[in-house]
Amino acid sequence: MVLLRLDSHALSRSRFALSPLAETLGAAIALSRPCTDTWLAPWHARHHAAFRARLDADPFARGMVALISSTKYLPDHVSFPPPGGMRTRLHEELAQMARVPDEAVGASLQLAVEASWERHDLGAWLTGHDWAGRTAELFRHIWDTYLAADWPRRRALLERDVTYRAGLLAAYGWPRAVERMNRHSVWVGADAIRFSNRPGHDRVVGPEGMLFVPCTRAGRGTWLCEAPGLPYALVYPARGTGDLQSAGAGPRNQALARLIGTGRTAILRALESPATSSELAAELDLSLGTVGGHLAVLREAELVVGERTGRRVVYRRTEAGEVLATGRTTMAGGGTATR
Query: Is residue 246 scored above 60 in pLDDT?
Result: no
Categorize the per-residue pLDDT at 103 as very low, low, confident or very high, splitting at 50, 70 and 90: very high
At how many degrees (to 10) do helices 262-270 and 251-260 cross? 120
Average pLDDT, the chain: 84
Query: Is residue 285 scored above 70 in pLDDT?
Result: no
Is the distance from CB of 32 to CB of 91 less than 8 angstroms? Answer: no
Categorize the per-residue pLDDT at 17 as very low, low, confident or very high, splitting at 50, 70 and 90: very high
Percent of the chain with pLDDT over 70: 86
The larger pLDDT score, comparing residue 105 to residue 336, is at 105
Query: Is residue 59 scored above 90 in pLDDT?
Result: yes
Q: Domains of the chain, with CATH numbers? A: 2-16+162-237 (no CATH), 20-153 (no CATH), 247-338 (1.10.10.10)
Nearest to 23 by CA among 72, 75, 88, 84: 88
| pTM for the structure as a whole | 0.73
Q: First vs last Cα of the chain: how many Å apart?
A: 40
Nearest to 315 by CA among 301, 331, 298: 298
Query: Is residue 131 scored above 90 in pLDDT?
Result: yes
Query: Is residue 95 scored above 70 in pLDDT?
Result: yes
Predicted local distance difference test score (pLDDT) of residue 208:
86
Neighbours of 316 (CB within 10 A): 17
What would the pLDDT profile of 225-241 be if each residue is shown by its tens digit? Answer: 988 888 999 998 887 65
What would the pLDDT profile of 172-193 be if each residue is shown by its tens digit? Answer: 888 778 876 766 667 777 778 8
Span of 66-70, 119-123, 127-131, 205-209 with lowest mean pLDDT: 205-209
